[in-house]
Chains A and B, each alone.
Chain A
Amino acid sequence: MTSPGLRRKHRQDALRTVAFLSPWLIGVSVFFLYPLISTVYFSFMRYDGFTPPVWTGLKNWSYVFSDYPFFWPALRNTLWLVIVMVSLRVVFGLGIGMLITKVKTGAGFFRTAFYLPYLAPPVAATMSFVFLLNPGTGPANNILGAIGLPQPGWFNDPAWSKPALTLLALWGIGDLMVIFMASLLDVPLEQYEAASLDGAGAWQRFWFVTLPNISPIVLFAVVTGVIATMQYYTQPLVAGKVASGVIGGSGQQFEPGYPEKSTLTLPQLVYNLGFQRFDTGGASVVALVLFALAMLFTAILMRRRSGFLGND
């Protein structure tokens, strides 16, 4: 049916397509597929990074799920942070964004004031929070005590360490505030006018006008927030180390998740197993669990939705 010339043209078209796609194909292969395949491969191996890998079947999986004492606490903490911290960040970011878009004077100042903390280096910001919330000498508890309120142990109390991390995350809300402000300013004003003429109150205007218009941005904030929280590493690690008092000891393995494993997150386990215990196999298992969870959360959040594009 097809002439040799047509076949050649098809082949040339296919080659051209592959050539145009090649930067993406190379990127995905090198930075996604290869690490993913390697991680699956190493999860079935005993491998210390120096001697050749040895097949151990499901031993690493069994160890991580049954015998590694940090896995389940880290998973519980990660899920707590995903549910509580991400939700609060989205609500707080949206709230601040709405307030600042409504401010008539000094909007620039407030925008800068709320955005600046986001630019603080995570280690410095976390250390500052640990000192501010120090139960013995921190100003936060001094103020709470002066007005007769209870003084929590914050980063030194397993019941308060995650709320303290959440406070830190809310303080650095600048990233979400900016994207919410951009989306709020994009909502057509005539829709608000029409709703007002129909007698809609502030809450109804928010629920029936604002929210539907910015829902793709809310979804974006939730999905990226979940993925970022799955990778939450620096802040809990620094907070735990500084609050425990053990910040020296170069090279020594340190108590994970002080206090009482309450600040442990899954990425810390990947580091602990892979880079401190030479257990690449166990670290690969935890990494795959993280990958599966991130995919699962994303799939749940995006199911039966038109994704980040909205409904129009």
Chain B
Amino acid sequence: MQRLSLAAIGTAAVALLATACTGSSPAPQANDDATKPVTITFWHGWSAPSEAAAIDANVKAFEAKHPNIKVKVVGNINDDKIKQALRAGGPNSPDVVSSFTTDNVGSFCTSNVFADLKPFLDKSGIDVDKTFPKALQDYTQYEGKRCALPLLNDAYGLYYNKDAFKAAGITAPPKTLSEFDKIAKQLTKEKGDTYSQLGFMPNFHGYESTTGHFAAMWNPTYLTPEGKSNLAGDPAFANMLKWQKNLVESLGGYAKLEKYRNTFGDEWGAKNPFHTGQTVMSIDGEWRLGMAKDAGVKFDIGVAPFPVPDDQADSYGKGYLAGTIIGIATPSTKQNAAWELVKYMTTDTEAVVNFSNGIRNIPSTLEALKSPNLKVDENFKVFLDIAQHPKSNTTPASPNGGAYQLTFQGFAYQHEAGKVPDLAAGLKKTDEQIDKDLAQSR
């Protein structure tokens, strides 16, 4: 009998322990009074002094408009920290959270890490369609659930060295991929088993030369309406991979390009290969303008939309879009106050414009894009236009974050290295793998 009691107590204790930290408590209701004095915590990922200064100025402007709400700002946060902190909960976890990547919006929404913003938007009378560009609306929601809003935007385009273009007698940036391939080859100067100058680094490890950024030029459909992977179903992916492989071959081959890539400096530092002249053209976001200036680049920088496939010449001007997102942590007990900050930072035209001017990102609202207070020069305007192009697109949210992109990119590495004998069969197999990963996450 005594043994039975001990066993029962032991079993109960184990069951209690095993369920003790399963985080199954219901989400707090947004019933706090946002007019009362309150302090909220805001986590963001910016860390560079100029960026941190811009975000601090933005928060100070908010506090001036909402004297009862104090904001405790915590910088240099990434998504892994966000997930861990929100899982743990507690009084030190954030109320407002921003993330540099759109990849995790699907998992943030499905797992309820971020609160549903629809009730807040309705309460404030904000029409999302009239406030944000379409692509930005897409990457901040998942399966109809809006758990985030865009906080500035990134657009990708073609950077080129105007001096090198001039020296080669090239008068205008390429608009189609066949023009681009020809120019890339023309600007490439081989030197033994390496290069003294490369027209363009097409290898998928070449910093922003990623599958997602290239594929955007074909307006791909990554997932079917049923949520299945569509790499084999949409010819955009095979066409992109074929184009990239052809360019790799024409510029000297995968191994030679990889060897040259290993001589590149840090992507985010002064020794970026575009800054140093190792590459004449590159695909990159609008932030490169400021970085190149900070690095003291001597040559004249040109910017244009990335070239489009020849059969889609009418869609020239589009590009890949992404950006920072912001949401309210579900465990927060100050959600109404948190919403005031989110609303201000994402929809107040003056705030969005000032922040855009501060960190040189693209504004994320339709009003801010047209604002006369926006500091626009010739190059920055190119990115503003890409951001507003109707065919500009992004990678869709998924329940396991960017895992499907990684799987596709893994396949692309094999393809560029010449290790894929049958492209169609390879894409089909990659679809199967992505579907298995998605099934596991649902």
Residue pair B440, A255 in contact (C-beta under 8 Å): no
Known: A52-B22, A156-B262. Is A252-B402 also a contact (CB below 8 A)? yes
Picked from A41, A51, A255, the residue with its CB within 8 Å of the CB of B112 is A51
Contacts of B440 in A (CB 8 A): 59-60, 63, 67-68, 279, 282
User: Which residues of chain B from 418 to 435 have a CB within 8 Å of any chain A CB?
Assistant: 433
Residue pair A37, B267 in contact (C-beta under 8 Å): no
Residue pair B111, A278 in contact (C-beta under 8 Å): yes
Residue pair B406, A37 in contact (C-beta under 8 Å): no
**On chain A, which size bracket covers the interface?**
35 or more
Residue pair A253, B433 in contact (C-beta under 8 Å): no
Picked from B24, B262, B441, the residue with its CB within 8 Å of the CB of A278 is B441
User: Which residues of chain B from 155 to 177 have a CB within 8 Å of any chain A CB?
Assistant: none
Contacts of B258 in A (CB 8 A): 156
Residue A3 CB within 8 A of the other chain: no
Docked complex Cα distance between A68 and B440 (Å): 9
Residue A250 CB within 8 A of the other chain: yes
Known: A275-B80, A278-B83. Is A37-B17 also a contact (CB below 8 A)? yes
Residue pair A250, B79 in contact (C-beta under 8 Å): yes
Stretch from A7-15, A162-170, A194-202, A239-247 at the B interface = A239-247
Residue pair B113, A247 in contact (C-beta under 8 Å): no
Residue A32 CB within 8 A of the other chain: no
Residue A4 CB within 8 A of the other chain: no
A246, A252, A255: residue with the most chain B Cβ atoms closer than 10 Å: A252
Residue pair B107, A277 in contact (C-beta under 8 Å): yes
Contacts of B28 in A (CB 8 A): none
Contacts of B17 in A (CB 8 A): 34, 37-38
Stretch from A134-142, A208-216, A297-305 at the B interface = A134-142
Residue A175 CB within 8 A of the other chain: no
Residue pair B401, A253 in contact (C-beta under 8 Å): yes
Nearest CB of A to B291, in Å: 11
Residue A248 CB within 8 A of the other chain: yes
Known: A41-B18, A245-B261, A249-B101. Is A51-B83 also a contact (CB below 8 A)? no
Docked complex Cα distance between A275 and B81 (Å): 9
Docked complex Cα distance between A59 and B440 (Å): 8
A41, A245, A282: residue with the most chain B Cβ atoms closer than 10 Å: A245
User: Which residues of chain B from 399 to 421 have a CB within 8 Å of any chain A CB?
Assistant: 400-403, 405-407, 409-410, 413
Nearest CB of A to B78, in Å: 4
Residue B344 CB within 8 A of the other chain: no
Docked complex Cα distance between A113 and B78 (Å): 38
Contacts of A245 in B (CB 8 A): 205-207, 261, 264, 267
Picked from B82, B403, B436, the residue with its CB within 8 Å of the CB of A253 is B403
Nearest CB of B to A28, in Å: 13
User: Which residues of chain A from 118 to 141 have a CB within 8 Å of any chain B CB?
Assistant: 134-137
Residue pair B18, A38 in contact (C-beta under 8 Å): yes
Residue B100 CB within 8 A of the other chain: yes
**On chain B, which size bracket covers the interface?**
35 or more
Docked complex Cα distance between A277 and B434 (Å): 13
Residue B341 CB within 8 A of the other chain: no
Nearest CB of B to A283, in Å: 12
Docked complex Cα distance between A277 and B80 (Å): 10
Nearest CB of B to A131, in Å: 11
Residue pair A37, B410 in contact (C-beta under 8 Å): no
Residue A31 CB within 8 A of the other chain: no
Residue A251 CB within 8 A of the other chain: yes
Nearest CB of A to B66, in Å: 28
Residue B144 CB within 8 A of the other chain: no
Nearest CB of A to B391, in Å: 24
Contacts of A252 in B (CB 8 A): 79, 100-101, 103, 402
Residue B259 CB within 8 A of the other chain: yes
Nearest CB of A to B370, in Å: 30
Nearest CB of B to A231, in Å: 18
Residue B332 CB within 8 A of the other chain: no
Picked from B18, B78, B407, the residue with its CB within 8 Å of the CB of A250 is B78
Residue B220 CB within 8 A of the other chain: no
A41, A48, A244, A282: residue with the most chain B Cβ atoms closer than 10 Å: A48
Nearest CB of A to B25, in Å: 9
Nearest CB of B to A130, in Å: 10
Residue B372 CB within 8 A of the other chain: no
Contacts of A53 in B (CB 8 A): 22, 24
Residue pair A244, B80 in contact (C-beta under 8 Å): no
Docked complex Cα distance between A253 and B263 (Å): 25
Docked complex Cα distance between A245 and B113 (Å): 31
Docked complex Cα distance between A55 and B328 (Å): 29
Residue A204 CB within 8 A of the other chain: no
Docked complex Cα distance between A67 and B438 (Å): 11
Residue pair A135, B267 in contact (C-beta under 8 Å): no
Docked complex Cα distance between A48 and B262 (Å): 38
Residue B219 CB within 8 A of the other chain: no
Contacts of A48 in B (CB 8 A): 107, 110-111
Q: Give A40's nearest chain B residue, CB to CB.
A: B18
Residue B266 CB within 8 A of the other chain: yes
User: Which residues of chain B from 10 to 44 have a CB within 8 Å of any chain A CB?
Assistant: 14, 17-18, 21-24
- A sample of 13 cross-chain residue pairs with beta-carbon separation below 8 angstroms, ordered by A number, consists of A37-B18, A50-B113, A51-B112, A69-B433, A136-B260, A156-B258, A244-B205, A248-B268, A250-B79, A260-B413, A277-B441, A279-B440, A279-B441
Q: Which 7 A-B pairs have the closest CB atoms?
A: A251-B79, A136-B262, A52-B24, A136-B263, A67-B436, A49-B87, A41-B18
Residues of B near any A CB (own CB < 8 A): 14, 17-18, 21-24, 45, 78-80, 82-84, 86-87, 99-101, 103-104, 107, 110-113, 205-207, 258-264, 266-268, 330, 400-403, 405-407, 409-410, 413, 433, 436-437, 440-441
